[in-house]
Amino acid sequence: MIKLAPEGKPFILGFFGLTILVVLFAPWGALLPFALTLFMAYFFRDPERRIPEGENVLVSPADGKVILISPTPSIPPLLRGGEGGVSESGEGGFIEVSIFMSPLDVHVNRAPCEGTVEEVVHTSGRFLSAFKHEASLQNENIAMLLTTRYGKILIRQVAGFLARRAVCRVKIGDSLQKGERYGIIKFSSRLDIYLPKEVNLRVKLGDRVKAGETVIGEMPSRN
């Protein structure tokens, strides 16, 4: 039995109900809503993943293609309804890794490592194509700041041209385990993660990754 993300059930049931209605009144037109029902079930699939072992291993928070790897001196401000925000700076800065999710990818997001949710901030914005660089800061997004044994890690769910809504299932104070599901972005979208600069990256531009399964980096051991 295929596991489905709960956020997809209204879409699946809605198109299935439409299919039934069309079959009753115009059977010849049922193919399209039936095809959309199957697509919704495929899109909102939520397969189990094999979480890699190792306390210093960081896993990908999303399925998709790595489209950006860039050093940055600090985590961007987390805006609170236009009333300001916070900016976290690390001793060595951060490395931003961006993952683009096409409509064919699994869109359930997972925690890269164990940590405690310090901030969850929704920011309204535009709906540019998610693969564009400017979409990272200009598009509507939900940023989650994790406090981890390695320092601060920011994960930002970015809405795209088709994806008009991201869902973050956790709140401030919640604890997450490595590979644990924490949210979903509906339809094609992007996810940015800011890792401590000392991370040893295990991915490169163009790599395909799977949430909760692909190792994107390893943190050096601390004696």
pLDDT, one tens digit per residue, over 187-221 is 768 899 999 999 999 999 999 999 999 999 999 87
* Residue 152 or 188, more confident: 152
Length of the chain, in residues: 223
**Would you say 213 and 60 are in contact if contact means Cβ atoms under 8 Å apart?**
yes
Confidence of residue 96 (pLDDT cuts 50, 70, 90): very high
In 10 A of CB 62, how many CB atoms?
Answer: 34
Among the listed residues 60, 136, 188, 189, the single catalytic one is: 189
- Dihedral-angle region of residue 84 (phi above 0 means left; psi in -120 to 50 means alpha; beta otherwise): left
* pLDDT given at position 61: 98
Query: 83 pLDDT band (50/70/90 cuts)?
Result: very low
- Measuring CA to CA, which residue among 176, 206, 164 is closest to residue 61? 176
Of residues 102 and 83, the one with the higher pLDDT is: 102
Using DSSP bridges, classify how beta strands 200-201 and 215-218 pair: parallel, antiparallel or unpaired: antiparallel
pLDDT of amino acid 175: 97
* Spatial separation of the C-alpha atoms in residues 52 and 136, rounded to whole Å: 28
Strand locations in 16-161, DSSP E? Answer: 57-59, 64-74, 78-79, 85-86, 89-101, 108-110, 115-123, 141-148, 151-159
What kind and span of H or E run contains 192? strand 189-196
- Is 60 known to be catalytic? no
What is the mean pLDDT of the segment spanning 18-45?
Answer: 93
Average pLDDT over residues 162-170: 78
- Binned at pLDDT 50, 70 and 90, residue 186 comes out as confident
- pLDDT for residue 75 is more than 70: yes
Q: Is the pTM of this model over 0.85?
A: yes
